[in-house]
Amino acid sequence: MKKCVIIKNPESGKLKKLPSSDEVYDTLLKYGYNTEIKYTKKKKDATEIIKSLPDDIDLVISAGGDGTLNEVVTGNEQRKKKLTIANLPMGTTNDVGNMYGFTRNNYKNLEILLKGVKKKIDVCFIDKTPFIYVACLGDYIDMAYNTPRDLKKKYGKVAYALYGLKQITNKINRYKVRYKIDGKEYTGEYSFFFITNSSRVAGVDDIYYDVKLNDNMFEVAFADLKTKKDILRTFFQITNNDVKSVKNITYYQTDNLEIEFLDKQKTSWCIDGEEYKSENNIFKFSVKQDQKMLMPKENINKLFKENDEKK
């Protein structure tokens, strides 16, 4: 009998719950797993839980939001023997879960997951800190991690808009940067920075049409927006076009990036929905493919290169 551990964040999402424990155990048993559920109590608990698991665990399921999945990936990265992981989306926005092809029904999602396939996935890094789908910096981005949890549990995604209204009078900060990519050096002035490995960010689908999760590459988008009207216009364009064709956005696809901020940063980076605090003004981004994830079959052909191993 195989062994499964579910790492559950009970604070994730808008009053979302797993199916009853009996349903979870019975479903996993049907697929050959004896299962244990471990609950997080505070930030970084999921990282510590997966780090402490024995090497004979066959599957670790992250039941929470994108931040919980990030913690699981982070802890797995620190293991000598990495475990096969999976995502059961139960957060507020669930960018990763939606991209993977999950539904809003948690019980159905568990079935979809267990019928899936194991795939090696790209894990991106800001310096030595992993992120699974996005690292971003700019005004209003702190909504992802500063919106009160009780507001998110009560109102779901609307909570971010409510919190964002408080910032509507803020001016838009712009930053002079020097950056190196693929051996070439550039300078520029930008207001928003997005380093992603995802076709969906902040609830917006199909920002990129050709993202692959196993190509050892990530997408880079720097936005030069000076006014709130620019932000609204660009947001509308992104929702209707591939971001690479949007005016005022500088785009790259690469496996290496170094950004040096020549101006003092006024906000923190946000990685996978959580704040990344650093006193540095130089950040190095990289990617490697050393973790395996059990994935739903729904979007496999779209998200993975054909020559990827399927075992």
> Residues 21-59: pLDDT tens digits?
778 889 999 999 999 999 999 999 999 999 999 999 999
Predicted confidence at residue 239, as pLDDT, reads 75
Buried b vs exposed e over 3-38: b needs ≥16 C-beta within 10 Å?
ebbbbbbebbbeebebbeeeebbebbeeeebebeeb
| CA 244 to the chain's CA centroid | 20
The partner residues of 223 in beta bridges, in order of sequence, read 192, 249
pLDDT above 80: residue 64: yes
Q: What is the mean pLDDT of residues 271-289?
A: 92
Give yes or no for residue 226 having a pLDDT over 90.
Answer: no
Which DSSP helix (H) or strand (E) runs through 56?
Answer: none
Q: What is the pLDDT of residue 201?
A: 78
Spatial separation of the C-alpha atoms in residues 201 and 92, rounded to whole Å: 13
Residue 154's pLDDT is 57
> Is 145 or 300 the better-scoring residue by pLDDT?
300
Is the pLDDT assigned to residue 165 strictly greater than 70?
no
Angle at 311 between CA 71 and CA 128, to 5 degrees: 30
- Sequence letter at residue 27: T
The CA-atom distances, in angstroms, between 119 and each of 7, 235, 256, 280, 291 are 20, 32, 23, 34, 8
Beta carbons of 303 and 133 less than 8 angstroms apart:
no
Please choose, from the candidates 200, 294, 243, the residue with its C-alpha nearest in 3D space to the C-alpha of residue 5: 294
What pLDDT is recorded for position 80?
A: 94
Q: What is the pLDDT of residue 147?
A: 55
Per the structure block, which two tokens stand in for 30?
């049907």
When the pLDDT of each residue in the chain is averaged and rounded to a whole number, the result is: 86
Query: For the packed helices 21-30 and 106-114, what is the interaxial angle rounded to 10 degrees?
Result: 20
- Residue located via tokens 């990265």: 77
CA distance 157 to 175: 29
Percentage with pLDDT > 70 across the chain: 85
Better-predicted residue by pLDDT, 16 or 78:
78
Answer whether residue 211 shows pLDDT above 50: yes
Helices (H), the chain: 21-30, 45-52, 66-77, 95-100, 106-114, 143-146, 149-155, 158-165, 228-240, 300-303
Beta bridge mates, 287: 124
The answer to whether residue 224 scores a pLDDT higher than 80 is yes
160 CB neighbour count, 10 Å cutoff: 21
Taking alpha carbons only, the member of 265, 282, 77, 43 closest to residue 145 is 43
Token output for 124: 């991106």
Q: What is the pLDDT of residue 230?
A: 84
Alpha-carbon distances of 204 from 95, 96, 170, 200, 208, rounded to whole Å: 8, 11, 23, 5, 10
Q: Alpha-carbon distance 211 to 209, whole Å?
A: 6
pLDDT bracket for residue 150 (50, 70, 90): low
Q: Where are the domains of the chain?
A: 2-123+290-302, 129-288
- Residue-wise pLDDT tens digits, 71-114: 999 999 999 999 999 999 987 667 888 899 898 888 899 999 99
Span 173-209, pLDDT tens digits: 899 999 999 999 999 999 999 999 988 877 677 777 7
CATH of 129-288, one of 1.10.3720.10, 3.40.50.300, 2.60.200.40, 1.20.1050.10: 2.60.200.40
Average pLDDT (130-135) is 94
- Asked if 291 and 120 touch (Cβ cutoff 8 Å), the reply is yes
Confidence bin at 145 (pLDDT 50/70/90) = low
Which residue in 274, 307, 16 sits closest to 145, CA to CA? Answer: 274
pLDDT at site 92: 66
CATH architecture of the domain covering 2-123+290-302: 3-Layer(aba) Sandwich (3.40)
